[in-house]
């Protein structure tokens, strides 16, 4: 019983996910079109497992997408926006360099003005840190409900290998008391070091990366460390989880890191979204989690491990409750958003993503 006591004593165990929401823009660009344009080796598409990516339209950005995902999350949660005491937006593509995105989204959702609200930046895991902080605020009794959003219109240097995957999308989570939750947190840990694997300098349009350095010393080291730390603290093994969701810079990395950690493919595939929508950066792992929650059953245990360059990884264990069933149908599911698509050309992509610079 000591184990059980240890788990219950974790503050995050008093908190859970009440509602979740997703947004994926309709436009899709085929990876083969990008590869063809720049003369990439066709085999790279298979090696990365990337088929197509979602592209935000000219009138979409991290705020509009984040708002949509948050709206769905609040609908699923069934809470009064006036009772939400914190709104955090994790993004690395905020429309304003100075001026919070979170305030725009919060007001558009009629969230109470008596709140904490800020944009967060930690490459692809700022939204995940927002989720951790919102959870801590609920656990401490500072707020009743919190809203954490990950939303990005990720930039990629034209012709860089990242252009195959860098895409747009958003995911949002309403957290609150565990008694009201569709899925309760069992434990959360985070592992962070100074690892310069990927970065974008101030005023630079596009990020740069350290190629192979983004793999073993960054993605794999951080995720494996955080997940092992979590399993050790909770006394859990890969067999104890029904699903494992990892950050998805491409389709292959989550499968590979899962294999290294001892998770079979079948537990990872349900949370995979990147091959069909690309890497949505701050929404990447959180959209994978949303996809799993869309069809999860009460009692199931989910591992989610986002990763952000720079670098850090969170690992969370989540247990689905009976309340999930009624909430699954209340908002668009990730699979529906993935299926809702129209193909565009690279030229239309260039226009949508403001790659064509013109004076207006």
Partner 1 sequence: MSKAFISAVCMTKIGRHFKLGIKNLIHEVTACMEEKIGSRPDYLIVASTFSALQTHQLDVASIATQYLGWSNIPSIRVETGETSGIAALELAQYIVRSGAASKVLVIGVEKMTEYPSNKVNADYAKILDYDTEYVRNITPPSYAALVMKEYMRKYGATRDDIAEWPVKMHANAVNNPYAQLRFPVSKEAVSNAMVISEPITLLDAFPIGDGAAAVLVTNESARSKDALEIVATAAATAPPLYLREDITELPATKAAWASLKRKLDACKLSEVALQVHDSYSIYGILALEAVGISEKGKACQVIPNLEYLNVGGGLKARGHPVGATGLYQVAETYELMLEGFAGKQYGGEYALIHSMSGSDYNARLALLRRW
Residue ranges in contact with partner 1 by CB under 8 A: 41, 43-44, 208-213, 216-217
CB of 47 to partner 1, least distance (A): 9
Catalytic residue among 124, 180, 209, 222: 124
Both tokens assigned to 178:
């565990």
**Known catalytic residue: 51?**
no
- Looking at the Cβ atoms of 215 and 238, the one nearer to partner 1 is 215
CB of 331 to partner 1, least distance (A): 42
Cα 248 to chain center, whole Å? 9
Nearest to 88 by CA among 42, 145, 141: 145
CB of 22 to partner 1, least distance (A): 33
**Known catalytic residue: 33?**
no
CB of 196 to partner 1, least distance (A): 11
Instruction: Give CA–CA dist 88/150, Å, rounded.
Output: 8
| Burial class of residue 151 (count of CB atoms within 10 Å of its CB; 0-12, 13-18, 19+) | buried
- Looking at the Cβ atoms of 181 and 311, the one nearer to partner 1 is 311
Cis check: omega of the bond before 311, within 30 degrees of 0 = yes
Angle, CA 312 vertex, CA 308 and CA 313 arms, to 5°: 85
Q: Is 70 helix (H, G, I), strand (E, B) or coil?
A: helix
Catalytic residue among 51, 52, 60, 92: 92
- Exposed e or buried b per residue across 178-202, where buried means at least 16 C-beta atoms within 10 angstroms of its C-beta: bebbbbbbbbbbbbbeebebbebee
- Looking at the Cβ atoms of 112 and 213, the one nearer to partner 1 is 213
- Alpha-helical runs (H) found in 49-125: 62-77, 101-108
**Known catalytic residue: 354?**
no
- Looking at the Cβ atoms of 49 and 88, the one nearer to partner 1 is 49
CB of 214 to partner 1, least distance (A): 10
Residue 6 makes CB contacts below 8 A (sequence gap 6+) with 235
CB of 262 to partner 1, least distance (A): 24
* Ramachandran area for residue 49 (φ above 0: left; ψ -120 to 50: alpha; else beta): left
- Looking at the Cβ atoms of 217 and 238, the one nearer to partner 1 is 217
- Looking at the Cβ atoms of 210 and 238, the one nearer to partner 1 is 210
- Residue 82 sits at φ, ψ, to 5 deg, of -70, -15
Helix (H) or strand (E) holding 87: strand 84-90
Catalytic sites, residue numbers: 92, 124, 247
């Amino acid at each position: 019983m000591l184990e059980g006591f240890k788990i219950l004593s974790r503050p995050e165990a008093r908190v859970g996910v009440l509602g979740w929401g997703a947004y994926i823009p309709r436009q899709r660009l085929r990876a083969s079109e990008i590869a063809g344009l720049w003369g990439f080796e066709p085999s790279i598409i298979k090696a990365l497992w990337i088929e197509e990516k979602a592209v935000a339209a000219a009138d979409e950005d991290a705020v509009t997408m984040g708002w949509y995902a948050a709206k769905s999350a609040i609908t699923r949660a069934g809470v009064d926006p006036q009772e939400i005491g914190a709104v955090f937006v994790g993004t690395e593509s905020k429309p304003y360099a100075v001026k919070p995105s979170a305030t725009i989204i919060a007001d558009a959702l009629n969230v109470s003005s008596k709140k904490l609200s800020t944009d967060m930046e930690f490459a692809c895991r700022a939204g995940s840190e927002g989720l951790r902080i919102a959870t801590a605020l609920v656990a401490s009794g500072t707020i009743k409900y919190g809203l954490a959003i990950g939303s990005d219109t990720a930039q990629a240097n034209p012709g860089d290998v990242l252009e195959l995957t860098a895409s747009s999308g958003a995911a949002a989570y309403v957290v609150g008391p565990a008694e009201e939750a569709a899925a309760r947190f069992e434990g959360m840990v985070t592992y962070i070091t100074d690892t310069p694997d990927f970065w974008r300098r101030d005023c630079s349009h596009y990020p740069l990366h350290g190629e192979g350095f983004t793999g073993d010393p960054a993605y794999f080291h951080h995720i494996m460390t955080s997940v092992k730390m979590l399993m050790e603290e909770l006394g859990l093994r890969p067999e104890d989880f029904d699903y494992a969701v990892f950050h998805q810079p491409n389709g292959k990395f989550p499968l590979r890191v899962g294999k290294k950690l001892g998770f079979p493919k079948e537990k990872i595939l349900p949370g995979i979204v990147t091959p069909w929508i690309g890497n949505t950066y701050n929404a990447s792992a959180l959209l994978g989690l949303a996809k799993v929650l869309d069809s999860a059953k009460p009692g199931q245990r989910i591992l989610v491990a986002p990763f952000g360059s720079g670098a850090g990884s969170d690992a969370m264990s989540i247990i689905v409750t009976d309340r999930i069933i009624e909430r699954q149908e209340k908002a668009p599911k990730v699979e529906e958003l993935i299926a809702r698509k129209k193909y565009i050309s690279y030229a239309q992509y260039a226009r949508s993503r403001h790659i064509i610079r013109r004076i207006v």
